[in-house]
Amino acid sequence: MSVDIIDLGMGNVSSIANLLIRLGIHSRLVSRPSDLNSDTVIIPGVGAIGAYVERFRSLGFHDAIYSCAEKGKQVIGICLGFQLLTQWSEESGGIECLGLIKAQTRRLKGDTTHNGWETFSFDRRTIADNTSFRAPSLTRKYLVDGRVYYNHEYGVECFDEKAITIPIESFNKCYSAMVVKDNVVGMQFHPEKSQSTGLELFKQLL
């Protein structure tokens, strides 16, 4: 198994690569769309979405990710990469995003920053009918239950009826912790910083 990690020089790519190494998964840092050739693509990201989208588009990744999704490849967005999967973000004056998930990204209520640990639970049986996901080869477990780490000021409001959404509990379930739609997955938290919970979650998805 091999995983491509998009590297725009603006994200936490080395931490994600190290997480995959711990799982025995080979990964490649990809800075050109023409080099994408794995069955799974991870879009990491930290910072402001305006600069991120500008670089993402200028390098040609916009069309490349559409192509990956259409071909059935697994596309995983993490933190800012998750927000990129939505239709639109309020940040940076309003930015059009990829639209792979029917959702919008908005400033957290109260103009707060969500920084720290929260409980998280994912039952893989909820996506058992999703033929886009093969049975995991790294574990026989189906339940991930633990804590995950967040650091963000904007949250995803998902209204996609075809998606499975796990909410962030501390915001009265207004924002999404994780969204799964067909072969597209978005996570607002950082699995690479979430210790054993992040490892177990990746075992379920890869």
Is 70 part of the annotated catalytic residue set? no
pLDDT of 139 reads 63
Q: How many domains does the chain have?
A: 1
Is 79 part of the annotated catalytic residue set? yes
- Active-site residue identified among 68, 79, 97, 158: 79
Pick the closest to residue 68 from 35, 44, 21, 95 (CA basis). 35
**Domain region containing 170:** 2-205
Look up residue 21 and give its two tokens: 């190494």
- Active-site residue identified among 91, 97, 114, 190: 190
Q: What would the pLDDT profile of 107-118 be if each residue is shown by its tens digit? A: 998 878 899 999
Q: What would the pLDDT profile of 123-172 be if each residue is shown by its tens digit? A: 888 876 765 666 565 566 778 999 999 999 999 999 999 999 999 988 76
Residue 94 neighbours by CB distance under 10 Å: 9
Average pLDDT over every residue of 71-86: 96
Q: Is 14 helix (H, G, I), strand (E, B) or coil?
A: helix
d(CA 206, CA 201): 9
Q: Report the CATH number that the domain containing residue 122 is assigned in CATH.
A: 3.40.50.880
